[in-house]
Structure 1
Amino acid sequence: MIYVDADACPVKAEVEQIATRHKVRVAVVSNGGLRPSANPLVEMVYVPDGPDVADIWIAERAGPGDVVVTGDVPLAAKCVAAGAQVIRHNGEAFTPANIGNQLASRDLMADLRASDPFRQGGGRPFSKADRARFRDALERALRIAAQTPRA
């Protein structure tokens, strides 16, 4: 199963294409506003509004043999701990080896933003290269997940 933290996810179409080729089910989780897919492998999961409701839904279900697509570091940490393969929208993998540093960096950046109310902006724009890296990473993650015994 592929779980997609779908709010603000720029690679939903790529997930659906690759999942269809591999015949893997997908749960696209959001709090609404997304157009349903006609693909029988894609389930749209609409959760109530509220902080981290989609994250909680995914974290309660993801485990060994699953792939999670998210940019949310705390959600990624929970899913990595549960044994899932976890990748960002740009193809970067969250792993047991790097998740601690990812969480620390996230917390540091949150502190920096909070201390400087005039700090503007975000990261660089999402590029074609990011999209290509994501496609490769999802293929890799699905191969690993397929070889992972389920809990």
Structure 2
Amino acid sequence: MQIWVDADACPRVIKDILFRVAEKRRIPLILVANQALRVPPSKYIRCIQVGAGFDVADGRIVAELRPGDLVVTADIPLAAAVLDKGGHALDPRGALMTTDTIGERLMMRNVLDELRGCGIETGGPPPLSPSDRQAFANRLDAFLTRHTPLPPISPP
């Protein structure tokens, strides 16, 4: 299993949590973005920089995703594509998207897009709060506990 990150819009604090988890659990973490990213040196963490353009990073994630992989994203259409391919999708606020919930999320996203298209200001999500960060860390830990074995403890 690998963890993929839709990294252009992922908050730095969430990336920091993911960096620590990749090292601790020895899980490959791949960040995909349209721009260069700074990441800690690690054999478990790598970046893929894609060209500029609408959904280029999303397309790369979906193309390389394997069933069972986890994708961290707030992008609802990307999450739907991930679920269709047998992956898992977790948003930066700690909500695990499932085949049971993605339809409603897509519908709400489409309604908000239509409202914005009509000139109605819908606002964006509130800033990430400390409780959001904790919810993300807790949900990520619970997910990984269910789906991956812990690495062996290295002798002192």
Instruction: State if a TM-score over 0.5 links the two structures.
Output: yes
Q: Distance in 2 between matches of 1:63 and 1:144?
A: 18
Match of 2:7 in 1: 6
- 2:145 is aligned with what amino acid? R
Q: Distance in 2 between matches of 1:63 and 1:96?
A: 17
Offset of residue 120 of structure 1? 5.8
Q: Calculate the aligned-residue CA RMSD, in Å.
A: 1.5
SS at match of 1:3: strand
Contact residue 70 and residue 88 of structure 1 kept, 8 A:
yes
Match of 1:133 in 2: 135
Q: Distance in 2 between matches of 1:145 and 1:116?
A: 44
The question of 1:57 aligning with 2:60 is answered: yes
Offset of residue 60 of structure 1? 1.1
Offset of residue 126 of structure 1? 0.7
Contact residue 37 and residue 44 of structure 1 kept, 8 A:
no
Match of 1:105 in 2: 108
Which blocks of at least 5 consecutive residues in structure 2 are unaligned? 150-156
Amino-acid identity (%): 34
Offset of residue 8 of structure 1? 1.8
User: Which of structure 1's runs of 4+ aligned residues deviate more than 3 A?
Assistant: none
Q: Distance in 2 between matches of 1:130 and 1:19?
A: 20
Moved more, 59-68 or 7-16: 59-68
In the alignment of these two chains, the number of paired residues is 146
So what's the TM-score if we normalise by structure 2? 0.87
- 2:9 is aligned with what amino acid? A
Moved more, 135-144 or 108-117: 135-144
